[in-house]
């Protein structure tokens, strides 16, 4: 295996039951949804023991992302390999038919609430589908305090404390660690986040789990302890246009943990960069990625990891295509 040259790596999705989910991920993903119940999440790139992504193409087919990061750290991650014992990002698609719980992710200040091996969790969303009743909440209204939030939980009026808006397709939303947030009522998003699975549920809209008939547990004390009441950066962000030809390239997010561009076009363009890993996520259309004399077809809903050992690539759209390109900031 050590002698196998690196190449563009495609990973398969991991579908997750969520009581707030729907069935619309079937319109995005090439692999069928399981069963007939609500599927809320497709984990499309994950280096976690309980949700491990596996390669679906080429000589490394069947190998996990975690195995490859451990066996080929420099080839996959480049000069920063020693910083990342596991791949530092977690990517998902969410189908939020109903409202998610109101929740908070811990910050670097919440070391007492972070299990060993976990990190704080900043995340961001790119809205794919939204309806007239869809809602995103990102942060609190001015004047909100731990005391009135606790009262709002007891009185079932948490929504009155949340800064919310009606999203539209294409919106980009940043959720730094410590931000109270939720979304739902028929909205679908792409989600990028730090590789952490620590979430504290502040409120759950009276949901009952269909599998148990019971409400889900709240973690009010932990959630209140994690809130950054001084945060001003949560919510909608304005895309920064970097180019119009040969492809529309907009930078949506640029934080300490991830950088994300949205690319849209029909003419050939370049993706990737030598010496650093890049991730491609296809939101619309299809195209071919050329590498070492081979063509790799990239389709809607797919995720591809371009190892750091490889150079930049030429991408040839077969129709109008929309890609997300992701890097790890230096």
- Which strands form 123-130's sheet, in the order they lie side by side? 14-22, 39-45, 89-96, 187-194, 123-130, 172-175, 235-236
**Boundary-marking domain end, from 210, 236, 262:** 236
Asked whether residue 218 falls in the same domain as residue 318, the answer is no
Report if residue 15 sits inside a domain.
yes
**Boundary-marking domain end, from 180, 213, 236:** 236
Asked whether residue 322 falls in the same domain as residue 196, the answer is no
Q: pLDDT digits over 186-239, tens only? A: 999 999 999 999 999 999 999 988 778 888 899 999 999 999 998 889 999 999
CA nearest neighbour of 194 among 48, 9, 21 = 48
User: 0.85 cut: is pTM over it?
Assistant: yes
Asked whether residue 275 falls in the same domain as residue 141, the answer is no
Asked whether residue 256 falls in the same domain as residue 286, the answer is yes
Output the DSSP codes for 229-281.
TT----EE---EEEE-SSSEEEEEEE-SS-EEEEEEESS-EEE--TTS-EEEE
Asked whether residue 230 falls in the same domain as residue 287, the answer is no
User: Furthest-apart CA pair in the chain: how many Å?
Assistant: 63
Q: Is 115 helix (H, G, I), strand (E, B) or coil?
A: coil
Report if residue 2 sits inside a domain.
no
Report if residue 1 sits inside a domain.
no
Report if residue 4 sits inside a domain.
no
Asked whether residue 200 falls in the same domain as residue 231, the answer is yes
Report if residue 202 sits inside a domain.
yes
- Work out the burial of residue 127: count CB atoms within 10 Å of its CB; fewer than 13 is exposed, 13-18 middle, 19 or more buried: buried
How far is 204 from 207, CA to CA, in rounded Å?
6
Asked whether residue 223 falls in the same domain as residue 245, the answer is no
Q: pLDDT digits over 259-296, tens only? A: 999 999 999 999 999 899 999 999 999 999 999 889 99
> 261 forms bridges with which residues in the sheet?
251, 325
Asked whether residue 215 falls in the same domain as residue 247, the answer is no
Kindly give the confidence (pLDDT) of every residue in the chain, 330 residues in length, as a single tens digit, with 9 standing for 90 and above.
667 899 999 999 999 999 999 999 999 999 999 999 999 999 999 999 999 999 999 999 999 999 999 999 999 999 889 999 999 999 999 999 999 999 999 999 998 999 988 999 999 999 999 999 999 999 999 999 999 999 999 999 999 999 999 999 999 999 999 999 999 999 999 999 999 999 999 999 999 887 788 888 999 999 999 999 988 899 999 999 999 999 999 999 999 999 999 999 999 999 999 899 999 999 999 999 999 889 999 999 999 999 999 989 999 999 999 999 999 998
How far is 170 from 262, CA to CA, in rounded Å?
10
How far is 321 from 298, CA to CA, in rounded Å?
10
Report if residue 3 sits inside a domain.
no
Report if residue 133 sits inside a domain.
yes
**Domain extent at residue 258:** 240-327
How far is 47 from 50, CA to CA, in rounded Å?
9
**Boundary-marking domain end, from 236, 258, 291:** 236
Asked whether residue 155 falls in the same domain as residue 283, the answer is no
Asked whether residue 161 falls in the same domain as residue 252, the answer is no
Asked whether residue 144 falls in the same domain as residue 16, the answer is yes
Domain count, the chain: 2
CA angle, residues 260, 10, 92, in degrees to nearest 5: 50
Asked whether residue 266 falls in the same domain as residue 223, the answer is no
Report if residue 296 sits inside a domain.
yes
């Amino acid at each position: 295996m050590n002698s196998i040259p690196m190449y563009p790596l495609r990973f398969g999705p991991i579908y997750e039951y969520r009581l707030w989910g729907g069935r619309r991920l079937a319109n995005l993903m090439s692999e069928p949804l399981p069963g007939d119940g609500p599927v809320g999440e497709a984990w499309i790139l994950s280096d976690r023991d309980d949700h491990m992504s596996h390669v679906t193409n080429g000589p490394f087919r069947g190998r996990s992302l975690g195995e490859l990061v451990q066996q080929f750290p420099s080839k996959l991650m480049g000069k920063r390999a020693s910083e990342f014992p596991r791949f530092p990002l977690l990517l998902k698609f969410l189908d939020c038919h109903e409202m998610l719980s109101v929740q908070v992710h811990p910050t670097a200040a919440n070391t007492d609430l972070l299990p060993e091996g976990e990190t704080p969790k900043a995340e961001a969303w790119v809205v794919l589908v939204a309806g007239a009743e869809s809602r995103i909440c990102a942060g609190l209204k001015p004047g909100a305090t731990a005391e009135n939030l606790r009262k709002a939980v007891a009185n079932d009026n948490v929504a009155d404390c949340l800064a919310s808006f009606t999203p539209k397709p294409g919106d980009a939303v940043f959720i730094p660690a410590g931000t109270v947030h939720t979304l739902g009522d028929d909205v679908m998003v792409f989600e990028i986040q730090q590789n952490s699975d620590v979430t504290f549920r502040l409120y759950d809209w009276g949901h009952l789990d269909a599998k148990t008939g019971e409400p889900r547990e709240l973690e009010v004390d932990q959630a209140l302890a994690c809130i950054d009441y001084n945060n001003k950066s949560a919510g909608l962000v304005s895309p920064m246009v970097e180019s119009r030809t040969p492809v529309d390239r907009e930078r949506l997010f640029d934080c300490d943990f991830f950088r994300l561009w949205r690319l849209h076009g029909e003419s050939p363009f370049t993706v990737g960069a030598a010496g650093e890993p890049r991730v491609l996520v296809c939101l619309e259309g299809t195209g071919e990625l050329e590498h070492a004399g081979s063509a790799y077809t990239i389709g809607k809903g797919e995720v591809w990891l371009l190892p750091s050992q490889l150079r930049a690539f030429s991408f040839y759209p077969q129709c109008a295509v929309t890609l997300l390109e992701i890097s790890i900031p230096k």
